[in-house]
Amino acid sequence: MTHAIDRIAPTRRPEGRVAQRQSWLDLTFLHWRIPVAALRPLLPAALEIDTYEGDAFIGVVPFTMTGVRPLWAPPVPGISNFHETNVRTYVHLEGRDPGVWFFSLDAASRVAVTIARTFWHLPYHHARMTLEKGPDGVRYTSERRSPPLPGICNLTCRPLSAPSPAVPGTIEHFLAERYVLYVDAGDGALRRGRVHHVPYPLQTAEVIAWEESLLAAAGMKRPPGEPLAHFASGVDVEIFALERVATGSGSR
């Protein structure tokens, strides 16, 4: 079934209670096209796979988070700043609210992992991570410290183009401008969360070197070929509370 999906509405600031504020910095987006059939068994039955010109995508996104805190609290040194890498695909719910499904999220903070698993039902894993910036580009390293292992992501990329917001209707907008996430709460319910930020200052990027095993750790075979790469210097983000959106098992 073909859905006319509204991809602009999710970019608007939603109503509701802001739960957290944080900043996402130095993001690299790596994407591969993947057959829809390869993803279907890995997703909750209630969600449909979102496609661009008939193709589904899997992504690996390393970046750093700063100023992570509840709305009512200031940032806490040693807790509010940490690196992260997520593995994701794109989904929608009955033709609306196009968003992200996370297969895994690695973070260089045991506290963040515990909080995200407990209160946000997200599949976080603790990892040892670094991020370095230099004249040759941005270099990320990540090595998972908890099962499933191994789980590494080592990447060096260099932004190429001038930063600009992605144009609606383009593949860049489809991949980057995502303001909804879905999670399996483990209680027979699917939940949806929303975020809000200005559009990414997106740049095309050159991948200088990369290796990863996070896709395999998530039960997926990485498609052949080089990834499609983009970079964004960062955005300030509002995180809204989760809401229940579907009944049923919510299982994969």
The percent of residues in the chain predicted with pLDDT above 90, rounded, is: 79
Q: Which pLDDT does position 216 carry in this prediction?
A: 94
Q: Assign 246 a pLDDT band (cuts: 50, 70, 90).
A: low
The percent of residues in the chain predicted with pLDDT above 70, rounded, is: 95
pLDDT (mean) for 96-115 = 94
pLDDT (mean) for 102-114 = 93
pLDDT (mean) for 233-240 = 97
> With a threshold of 0.85, does the pTM exceed it?
yes
Q: Could you tell me the domains of the chain?
A: 9-246 (2.40.400.10)
Q: Each residue of 193-229: b (16+ CB within 10 Å) or e?
A: bbbbbebbbbbebebeebebbbbebbebeeeeeebbb
Give the C-alpha separation, 252 to 232, whole Å.
32
Report the amino acid identity of residue 24: W
pLDDT (mean) for 38-49 = 94
Average pLDDT of the chain is 91
Spatial neighbors of 35 by CB under 8 A, at least 6 apart, are 56
